[in-house]
């Protein structure tokens, strides 16, 4: 399940980042990094907090999570997204670039990959702007909701739904 070599690599990258920027190498920071790199897909601060609270050895405060995640973003090890109400994060090292489909009805987020699209975006000529990364969010109706809607329309023709 785990890929220990990736965890080691990101620890090393993080160490280099911390050293280069004069930050301390605290056990909390590494515990957070490790936990994040065990999560598949997106997570928010609260989920991360619960995950770490359950580990007996490392309970960290939310304040530390917020602080550390900023460092991880700057170290390019984590990406921040903002769909829905709370900010969502995901690990970014060694992940293939991917895009997001977001259902405007049920809120479900799906990832997909598309090399042509990635290439088109990354090679867009930008005036006076130094691209580091990007997020593409495609909104629409997922197949499940589409089907549900058709069902509803058959029986009931005038109810709204937001």
Partner DNA sequence: GTCAGTGCAAACTTTTTGCAACTAC
Partner DNA sequence: GTAGTTGCAAAAAGTTTGCACTGAC
Given the DSSP bridges, would you call strands 109-112 and 99-103 parallel, antiparallel or unpaired? antiparallel
Return the residue of 17, 73, 87, 101 that touches DNA, per CB under 7 A. Answer: 87
Residue closer to DNA by CB (options 86, 124) is 86
For residue 123, the surrounding DSSP H or E stretch is none
Binding status of residue 125 toward DNA by CB under 7 A: no
Compute CA 129 distance to the chain's CA centroid, rounded to the nearest angstrom.
Answer: 24
Q: Annotate each residue in 32-51 with x if it binds DNA (CB under 7 A) or - if it does not, as one string.
A: ------------xxx-----
| Alpha-carbon torsion (44, 46, 47, 48), positive or negative | positive
Q: C-alpha distances in angstroms, 29 versus 33, 94, 140? A: 6, 20, 38
Alpha-carbon gap, residue 48 to 41, rounded angstroms: 12
Binding status of residue 150 toward DNA by CB under 7 A: no
Interacting residues toward a second copy by CB under 8 A: 21-23, 70, 74, 82-83, 101, 103-104, 110, 112, 114, 116-117, 120-121, 124, 126-143, 146, 158, 160, 162
Interface ranges with DNA (CB under 7 A): 18, 22-29, 44-46, 59-64, 66-68, 85-87
């Amino acid at each position: 399940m785990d890929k220990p070599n990736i965890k080691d690599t990101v620890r090393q990258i993080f160490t280099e980042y911390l050293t280069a920027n004069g930050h301390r190498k605290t056990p909390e920071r590494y515990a957070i990094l490790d936990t994040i790199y065990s999560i598949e897909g997106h997570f928010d601060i609260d989920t991360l907090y619960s995950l770490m609270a359950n580990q007996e050895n490392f309970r960290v405060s939310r304040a530390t999570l917020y602080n550390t995640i900023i460092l991880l973003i700057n170290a390019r090890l984590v990406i921040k997204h903002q769909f829905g109400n709370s900010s969502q994060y995901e690990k970014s090292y060694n992940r293939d670039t991917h895009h997001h489909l977001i259902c405007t009805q049920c809120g479900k987020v799906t990832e997909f990959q598309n090399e042509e699209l990635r290439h088109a975006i990354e090679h867009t000529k930008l005036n006076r702007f130094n691209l580091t990364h990007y997020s593409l969010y495609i909104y629409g109706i997922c197949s499940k909701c589409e089907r549900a809607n058709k069902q509803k329309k058959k029986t009931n023709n005038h109810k709204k739904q937001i």
